[in-house]
Structure 1
Amino acid sequence: MADLDIAERPTGAALVPTPNDDALPRRFADFATFGEALDYAASGERGLNFHDPRGNLVRAYPFSELRNDALAAAQRFVARGVKPGDRIAMIAETGTEFAALFCGAIYAGAWPVPLPLPTSFGGKENYIDQLAVQLASSDPSLLLYPAQIGEMAGAAAARNGVEGLAWKDFYAVAPVSHPLPEQDPDAICYLQYSSGSTRFPHGVAVTHRALLNNLAGHSHGMEVRDGDRCVSWLPWYHDMGLVGCFLSPIANQVSTDYLKTEDFARRPLAWLDLISRNEGTTLSYSPTFGYDICARRISSQSHVADRFDLSRWRVAGNGADMIRPDVMQSFVNAFADAGFKASAFLPSYGLAEATLAVTVMPPGEGIRVELVAEERLSGTPRDLSRPARYRAIVNCGKPVLDMEIEIRGEHGAPLADHHIGKVWCRGPSVMHSYYRDPESTAAALVDGWLDTGDMGYLVDDYLFIVGRAKDMIIINGKNHWPQDIEWAVEQLPGFHQGDIAAFAVETANGEEAPAVLVHCRVSDPEERIRLRDQIRDKVRSITGMNCVVELVPPRSLPRTSSGKLSRAKARNLYLSGEIQPYRLAA
């Protein structure tokens, strides 16, 4: 039963992780519902494995035990009056409790709604506000949370008139046998809050059929095979962590090892230690910044071959933000002696509105880039008085199973290869709708096609992503990608990814100009002025015009629930005065 915490469960003899292989024939997510997928996985020996901050196994959790706990949770939900279609909000902490509650809500016919944990870059009130808004949107009958954040989660629940319960209190009542509803493949399976950087998150409603189709796309795209094992530190409230590294291992029967996200943040190399230590680990995913921080941490160390063995790492997935080839090359340089192969990199592209994956690079092809002139990216004529500038655009692979992609121009007509436009996709895994938001749903879904809001181009069925359409800075008719400006500032000494937010503002004379907010960690007034002028010169070299440079306190720039920079929110906070820059002399 799932009424004991990890630490309270009897472990018996030495802990043994769930195996990579067993006698159960592998099925690649070819199920009608997710409950059916878990039922099948539970008949084998594979499962989930949870580790402490140093990567030591503290809980092996076979799929069979997850199913038993989920069914017990479903009985508790039904006993509490939960009906099919009700929303059950739950804080997505990586562990057995959330896993059982999420699957239990599905067995009960309810829609689990995973919500984020507090982060190190936001305060208590900000977290309560975030939860309260998502609770207001999803209108759940219950919010479940770990006891250690009970004060904050309880405050958010009370603000919305939602019943809030700590996990231990939910499990304090013994389950009573109740008939569980039949699952419908076309019913909503769960509600996922998209962490889109340029707008407030929407509740993305995903059906069982859409989920299973996308999970089958993962196994086909990554060529999952017998003996594969996965390692993940990704948060379960984000689509790549939830769908790619929790639901997909169940539906494709892959034993998986987990570090909590906060443990990775404190000790990033524990991720690579776990990959090295666990025999058979072949699959692991990360956004670019995960590879970046590991390469930075190891740069001052030697003898990587003595500590790590990354030779079995067959699929090193990369997604969830713009893929930077310079970072990927730094990771290869840092860990080649440990057996890591550049061909293991597997770029991909996806979004919650498509359940997760839209494209995946064929395994073994690695990072492939095209150098594209800025004039092509911005759609503006070449200024012959300035030298040509180029940007490396990463190939994000081919469409996953049953997915179609079109690149459309300004008036909606499909464009030929090599032409940059809006990325649209269509397939069985596209979302059902934005929950209780018909206007946004109608804007995003047109004749079965999803407007991703991203810009890119196709070449022989391979997709190249250029950036977010709504992030574009347009000044005097010329388009500038904020990623380009931010990247340029990151090249200056002392700055890292996430320290800079670029966007357009209106100046005193009514003209638009690029504004750059930069985390400043120096206190000397003269040094701050020097820094501001250096940044201004750097941005001028990119845009050809002066910009507004504001130095702001560390951790001032807002993030989405998945930890990505939110430029739109940064702009709003800056214009409203909630982000206060340091005062500098002219």
Structure 2
Amino acid sequence: MTDAALKPTPNDCELPRLRAQFATFNEAIDYAARSKKGLNFHDMRGQLERVYPYSEMRGDARVMARRLIAAGIKPQDRVALIAETSAEFAALFCACIYTGAWPVPLPLPTTFGGKDNYIDQLAIQLQSSDPVILLYPPEIGEMAAAAADRQGCAGEDWDTFAQREAPECDLHDSSPEEICYLQYSSGSTRFPTGVAVTHKALLHNLYGHSTSMHVGENDRAVSWLPWYHDMGLVGCFLSLIANQVSVDLLKPDAFARRPLAWLDMISRNAGNTLSYSPTFGYDICARRISSQSNVAERFDLSRWRIAGNGADMIRPDVMQNFVNAFSEAGFKAASFTPSYGLAEAVLGVTVMPPGEGIRVELVEEERLSGTPRDLTRPARYRAIVNCGKALPDMKVEIRGENGDVRGDHQIGKVWCHGPSVMHSYFRNEEATNECLVPDKDGHGAWLDTGDMGYLADGYLFIVGRAKDMIIINGKNHWPQDIEWAVEQLPGFNHGDIAAFSVETEGGEEAPAVLVHCRVSDPEERVKLREQIADKVRSVTGMSCVVELVPPRTLPRTSSGKLSRAKAKKLYLSGEIVPLELAA
């Protein structure tokens, strides 16, 4: 059917909106199905190709649930699902909910990494989640079946599974404290930990989304985010069901090829748009538009109400470039809505109140590194982005190494507490106990997020990830400070640099920087390496190891974020081979 013949689900209908006020996600699906809203899937060019109302999704899910039960699936069994942005995945995820089984969304293959790496990653996550069956799109049947065989679980493409009998039977009646699904973070590859999320935790977080962003009349979501990442799964799928919001969906690989199709879809929405992206999504769009383009002729971004920022460190310079590129198309900087969260708290912990935009504080790098100010050098500052206020019923504290609660503008570990905090890591008591600490009052547990930041007047500012910190001679260096400094040199893009520490031949720690190099002349490469070394020295005050590597070498997580830990591992093992330089 052509785009012109399809009618997308509406922004509004007569059914009153309930903001995730349900005891279980089963109830949320049932209520959404009473509305006229739903999922609208678009093709590679951003043209509408399938309209999937929540009512149809529920009907398909209940039939699939009967198939799962007939296949022997029981409550608490795991059902691994390759999380393609499709009606099939949506129905199967909800089918698991209706059976009491725990859906386990797993990633699709990416354009980087290769076939064998994908099979390895999938097999490791299957080993961790121990599912009864893996269901997947027919297009990746060979790879998915290989991973299932390695784990020893059943595997079947979902077209074949849909041909099975679906005899009538009773479906599961979930309770709020039951596990709803397992979430694997985009970085959980070598030692994966599945986050066990209860119905209660999920719906509390989804309520927080809609209330903090004032979801209401004429709002519509637009998303290209992958459903195997917490922001895509929770924010751009589950939340829309629980809050009865229609959504226009573009597959992640379609966005990668034609990122401006995302903005075309936003432009076509006659209502208000809610759409999230990590920093790199805004960066790609700003780079794709040439300075000669008349953006106002192609785009209308004036109704983009919530332009969410999250999933990685928010870059004020990139956001400003996006404003500069698209303000003539009606985009307003106040639409930016920074947030902070993690899968261990379902998704959201803090969000900026709508309309406040991106606000930054300039912080001296000495404060960030925890060292006394060197008065012989001029002060250097980094812009730290305000990530907003805690969601309803969530508490956020900043704590020191000894667990002491710190005051405003004092940097420490970010801890959070509330109904959204995860139940546990699946079958990993040690990892669970490392990050969950029971509240002294006996009410739930505090979550050590592993992130560093500070509070100011109730707003949270994120500085970086504790495990990424480079500590040399007792001084802390944030890798993003080094990476951002190198990115200021001509010819580099966001994601071209990975910084971490290595041990030198003399047994000392030193910063190392891997850099994508697009220069072919050997002598020019030497000059480039010297430029980079000078830039890093200006930030850290010390010499560093600089290695130029071919473009597209640096590894990324399944959601597209740079993986510094994996880059370091591959470099030290010799799997990342630096380019040769002139003698």
Q: TM-score, normalised by structure 1?
A: 0.97
Whether the 8 Å CA contact 1:69–1:100 is kept in 2: the answer is: yes
1:85 and 2:76 matched: yes
Residue ranges of structure 1 left out of the alignment (5+ in a row): 1-9
- Show the 5 A alignment for 1:5-20: 14-20=5-11
1:390 and 2:381 matched: yes
The CA deviation at 1:278 is 2.0
Give 1:202's aligned residue: 193
1:381 and 2:378 matched: no
Which stretch shifts more, 436-445 or 299-308?
Answer: 299-308
Give 2:354's aligned residue: 363
Whether the 8 Å CA contact 2:3–2:49 is kept in 1: the answer is: no
Q: 1:166 to 1:559 in 2, by over 3 A?
A: same
Residue from 528, 531, 552 that aligns with 1:531: 528
AA matched with 1:235? P
1:159 and 2:156 matched: no
Whether the 8 Å CA contact 2:3–2:47 is kept in 1: the answer is: no
Give 1:5's aligned residue: none
Give 1:236's aligned residue: 227
The CA deviation at 1:347 is 0.3
Whether the 8 Å CA contact 2:206–2:242 is kept in 1: the answer is: yes
1:464-500 superposed Cα distances (whole Å, 9 cap, x missing partner): 0000011100111111000000111111111111111
SS in 1 for 2:5: coil
Whether the 8 Å CA contact 1:286–1:318 is kept in 2: the answer is: yes
CA distance in 2, matches of 1:342, 1:130: 39
1:142 and 2:133 matched: yes
The CA deviation at 1:195 is 2.4
Residue from 273, 284, 287 that aligns with 1:293: 284
Give 1:565's aligned residue: 562
SS in 2 for 1:314: strand
CA distance in 1, matches of 2:395, 2:560: 29
AA matched with 2:290? S
Whether the 8 Å CA contact 2:124–2:190 is kept in 1: the answer is: no
Give 2:212's aligned residue: 221
1:303-335 superposed Cα distances (whole Å, 9 cap, x missing partner): 111111111111100000000111111111111
CA distance in 2, matches of 1:199, 1:358: 26
Whether the 8 Å CA contact 1:408–1:414 is kept in 2: the answer is: yes
SS in 2 for 1:401: coil
CA distance in 1, matches of 2:567, 2:190: 11
Whether the 8 Å CA contact 1:405–1:426 is kept in 2: the answer is: yes
1:46-67 superposed Cα distances (whole Å, 9 cap, x missing partner): 1110011222111111100000
CA distance in 1, matches of 2:208, 2:16: 18
* Identity among equivalent pairs (%): 75
SS in 2 for 1:510: coil
1:412-447 superposed Cα distances (whole Å, 9 cap, x missing partner): 110001100000000001111111110000001001
Residue ranges of structure 2 left out of the alignment (5+ in a row): 439-444
Which stretch shifts more, 370-379 or 515-524?
Answer: 515-524
Give 1:577's aligned residue: 574
Residue from 121, 124, 133 that aligns with 1:133: 124
Give 1:459's aligned residue: 456
- Show the 5 A alignment for 1:305-320: 305-320=296-311
The CA deviation at 1:519 is 1.4
1:492 and 2:492 matched: no
AA matched with 1:215? L
AA matched with 2:194? G
1:408 and 2:399 matched: yes
1:423 and 2:405 matched: no
* Total equivalences in the alignment: 577
1:38 and 2:35 matched: no
Give 2:257's aligned residue: 266
Whether the 8 Å CA contact 2:304–2:335 is kept in 1: the answer is: yes
Q: 1:11 to 1:516 in 2, by over 3 A?
A: closer
CA distance in 2, matches of 1:11, 1:298: 28
Give 1:6's aligned residue: none
1:81-107 superposed Cα distances (whole Å, 9 cap, x missing partner): 000000000110001000000010111
1:186 and 2:177 matched: yes
CA distance in 1, matches of 2:296, 2:7: 26
CA distance in 2, matches of 1:574, 1:452: 28
1:250 and 2:241 matched: yes
Residue from 485, 491, 504 that aligns with 2:501: 504
AA matched with 1:251? A
Give 2:441's aligned residue: none
CA distance in 1, matches of 2:539, 2:187: 26
CA distance in 1, matches of 2:533, 2:484: 14
Residue from 269, 274, 279 that aligns with 2:270: 279
Give 1:47's aligned residue: 38
AA matched with 2:534? D
Give 1:469's aligned residue: 466
Give 2:106's aligned residue: 115
1:515 and 2:502 matched: no
Whether the 8 Å CA contact 1:244–1:356 is kept in 2: the answer is: yes
The CA deviation at 1:570 is 1.0
Residue from 551, 556, 561 that aligns with 1:554: 551
Residue from 166, 176, 181 that aligns with 2:167: 176
Whether the 8 Å CA contact 1:345–1:367 is kept in 2: the answer is: yes
CA distance in 2, matches of 1:521, 1:498: 14
Q: CA RMSD in A?
A: 1.4
AA matched with 2:578? P
Which stretch shifts more, 423-432 or 179-188?
Answer: 179-188
Q: 1:12 to 1:51 in 2, by over 3 A?
A: closer
CA distance in 1, matches of 2:279, 2:496: 15
The CA deviation at 1:197 is 7.8
CA distance in 1, matches of 2:402, 2:251: 45
Give 1:3's aligned residue: none
The CA deviation at 1:282 is 1.7
Whether the 8 Å CA contact 1:197–1:568 is kept in 2: the answer is: no
1:341 and 2:332 matched: yes
Which stretch shifts more, 148-157 or 199-208?
Answer: 199-208
The CA deviation at 1:578 is 1.5
Residue from 430, 444, 447 that aligns with 1:450: 447
The CA deviation at 1:449 is 0.3
Whether the 8 Å CA contact 2:128–2:192 is kept in 1: the answer is: no
The CA deviation at 1:196 is 4.1
Whether the 8 Å CA contact 1:194–1:353 is kept in 2: the answer is: no
AA matched with 2:382? R
CA distance in 1, matches of 2:251, 2:2: 20
Q: 1:198 to 1:87 in 2, by over 3 A?
A: closer
Give 1:323's aligned residue: 314
The CA deviation at 1:350 is 0.4
CA distance in 2, matches of 1:151, 1:281: 42
SS in 1 for 2:84: coil
SS in 1 for 2:357: coil
SS in 1 for 2:304: coil
Give 2:49's aligned residue: 58
The CA deviation at 1:174 is 2.9
Q: TM-score, normalised by structure 2?
A: 0.97
CA distance in 2, matches of 1:316, 1:28: 20
